[in-house]
């Protein structure tokens, strides 16, 4: 029998496992609960570490967190490999952002100008310089830019490495699902359950479907390109992530759906955009088509910190498209919060309390004058299946 744990982590994706690792390193007794570790969004994710390419208009605080986490990645990957002997596929060739047509390039340049304007390292490249870097790019690609600091990691290698590291540091994995937080006998609970956080906490986390296609270079060799390539191709956004073992991840759709069916139209759009940008991909083997569900939030930013009115319960979810890049900073700062009770300033904008409902006129009676939530219950109350829209 286990001693009563100090910390229960719900969810053995990268975020949950990394939090467990950090907490165990600091001497806490940690148990991680997941019926199928690594089977969620990370199994589908490409593993881009792209705070620059992912910096969008108006998301200043998120960009800050992405940048801070990406900066931790080299040391994080090195520490993980030192602790486990496992390579996680961390690669530093950088990311090329490209536009296929003049219209695509115009759209891309608006974003690059914004990214440069907030001080991010984006270097526009002439077409000749682009082709010097990646000769396999289609001749009709009109232009591009380099985000040299946007790296990549392989999420399917990351999960077993994090699990090994967490277990070696003393954490225990319980291979079963958690149906209710009240089933956990612990001082602190960290909900890192991705989309599953909604049912467990009432937080406004919704599934955002993403479909990807995995290709493999023929003949067993490495792909014929080295950078991550993110492109606009006739209005379609696509990324191409090459791995040393020959794999190329082509992704990803962003769909407000909760099924994980692979659709003909999505595969068609991804392959068309991929082959338009890099014609040799037509001759690559198609080895996998897959869909997953990202944990999205109303403001597209993660939900990190203590749940109001729920002593000892923390959230580390809602990472949406950014779960892999945000793993190190989430683990470091959530572990710090668990151990010391201190909330790092970086975390403050992402507190769960930002989604607390406004006080109602007649809250005590349970009557909500807005009419939107006839139950009137606190959405953070335990065991409600409640998602906000």
Output 274 or 316, the one with its CB closest to its own copies.
Answer: 274
Q: How far is the CB of 385 from its own copies (least distance, A)?
A: 25
Q: How far is the CB of 263 from its own copies (least distance, A)?
A: 6
Q: How far is the CB of 281 from its own copies (least distance, A)?
A: 5
Q: How far is the CB of 260 from its own copies (least distance, A)?
A: 10
Q: How far is the CB of 135 from its own copies (least distance, A)?
A: 19
Q: How far is the CB of 292 from its own copies (least distance, A)?
A: 15
DSSP string, 129-193: HHHHH-TTS-TT--EEEEETT-EE--HHHHHHHHHHHHHHTT-EEE-S--S-GGG--SSEEEE--
Output 289 or 343, the one with its CB closest to its own copies.
Answer: 289
Residues near 266 by Cβ (< 8 Å), separated by ≥ 6?
A: 211, 253, 255, 291
Separation CA 185–CA 217 (nearest Å): 49
Separation CA 251–CA 293 (nearest Å): 13
Q: How far is the CB of 265 from its own copies (least distance, A)?
A: 3
Output 46 or 62, the one with its CB closest to its own copies.
Answer: 46
Q: Are 231 and 275 in contact (CB under 8 A)?
A: no
Q: How far is the CB of 342 from its own copies (least distance, A)?
A: 48
Output 222 or 262, the one with its CB closest to its own copies.
Answer: 262
Output 36 or 287, the one with its CB closest to its own copies.
Answer: 287
Strands 236-242 and 228-233 come out as antiparallel
Q: Helices 60-84 and 155-168, interaxial angle, to 10°? A: 60
Separation CA 89–CA 243 (nearest Å): 8
The CA-based angle 143-151-208, given to 5 degrees, is 85
- Convert 275-303 to b/e letters by CB count within 10 Å (16 or more is b): bbbbeebeebeeeebbbbbbbbbebebbb
Separation CA 222–CA 243 (nearest Å): 7
Residues near its own copies (CB under 8 A) are 213, 215, 218, 261-265, 267-268, 271-272, 274-275, 281-287, 289
Q: How far is the CB of 39 from its own copies (least distance, A)?
A: 20
Q: Are 203 and 303 in contact (CB under 8 A)?
A: yes
Q: How far is the CB of 389 from its own copies (least distance, A)?
A: 23
Phi/psi at 43 (5° precision):
-70, -25
**What number of other Cβ atoms are within 10 A of residue 356's Cβ?**
14
Is 232 strand, coil or helix? strand
Output 2 or 264, the one with its CB closest to its own copies.
Answer: 264
- Convert 161-195 to b/e letters by CB count within 10 Å (16 or more is b): bbbbbbbebebebbeeebeebeebebebbbbbbbb
Output 24 or 281, the one with its CB closest to its own copies.
Answer: 281
Output 50 or 270, the one with its CB closest to its own copies.
Answer: 270
Output 176 or 286, the one with its CB closest to its own copies.
Answer: 286
Phi/psi at 7 (5° precision):
-130, 130
Output 164 or 263, the one with its CB closest to its own copies.
Answer: 263
Residues near 162 by Cβ (< 8 Å), separated by ≥ 6?
A: 14, 17, 18, 21, 80
The CA-based angle 206-211-215, given to 5 degrees, is 150
């Amino acid at each position: 029998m286990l001693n009563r744990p100090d910390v229960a982590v719900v969810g053995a994706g990268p975020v949950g496992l990394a939090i467990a690792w950090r907490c165990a390193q600091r001497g806490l007794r940690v148990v991680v609960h997941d019926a199928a570790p690594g089977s969620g969004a990370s199994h589908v994710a490409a593993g881009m570490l792209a705070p620059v390419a992912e910096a969008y208009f108006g998301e200043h605080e998120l960009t800050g967190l992405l940048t801070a986490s990406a900066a931790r990645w080299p040391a994080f990957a090195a520490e993980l490999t030192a602790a486990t002997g496992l390579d996680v596929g961390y690669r530093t060739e950088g990311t090329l952002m490209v536009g296929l047509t003049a219209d695509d390039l115009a759209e891309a340049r608006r974003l690059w100008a914004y990214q440069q304007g907030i001080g991010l390292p984006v270097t526009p490249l002439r077409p000749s310089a682009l082709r010097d870097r990646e000769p396999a790019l289609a001749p009709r690609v009109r232009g591009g830019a380099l985000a040299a600091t946007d790296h990549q990691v392989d999420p399917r290698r990351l999960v077993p490495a994090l699990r090994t590291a967490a277990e070696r540091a003393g954490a225990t994995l319980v291979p079963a699902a958690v149906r209710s937080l009240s089933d956990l006998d612990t001082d602190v609970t960290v909900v890192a359950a991705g989309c599953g956080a909604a049912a467990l906490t009432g937080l406004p986390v919704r599934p955002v479907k993403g479909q990807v296609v995995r290709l493999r270079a023929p003949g067993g060799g490495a792909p014929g390109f080295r950078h991550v390539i993110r492109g606009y191709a006739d209005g379609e956004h696509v990324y191409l992530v090459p791995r040393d073992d020959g794999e190329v991840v082509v992704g990803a759709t962003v769909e407000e759906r909760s099924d994980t069916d692979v659709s003909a139209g999505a595969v068609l759009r991804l392959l068309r955009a991929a082959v338009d940008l890099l014609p040799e991909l037509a001759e690559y083997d198609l080895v996998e088509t897959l869909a997953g569900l990202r944990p999205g939030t109303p403001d597209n930013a993660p939900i990190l910190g203590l749940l109001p009115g729920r002593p000892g319960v923390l959230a580390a979810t809602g990472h949406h498209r950014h779960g892999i890049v945000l793993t190190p900073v989430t683990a470091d700062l959530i572990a710090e919060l668990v151990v010391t009770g201190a909330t790092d300033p970086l975390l403050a904008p992402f507190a769960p309390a930002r989604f607390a409902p406004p006080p109602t006129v007649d809250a005590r009676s349970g009557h909500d004058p807005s009419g939107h939530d006839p139950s009137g219950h606190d959405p953070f109350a335990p065991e409600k299946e409640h998602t906000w829209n």
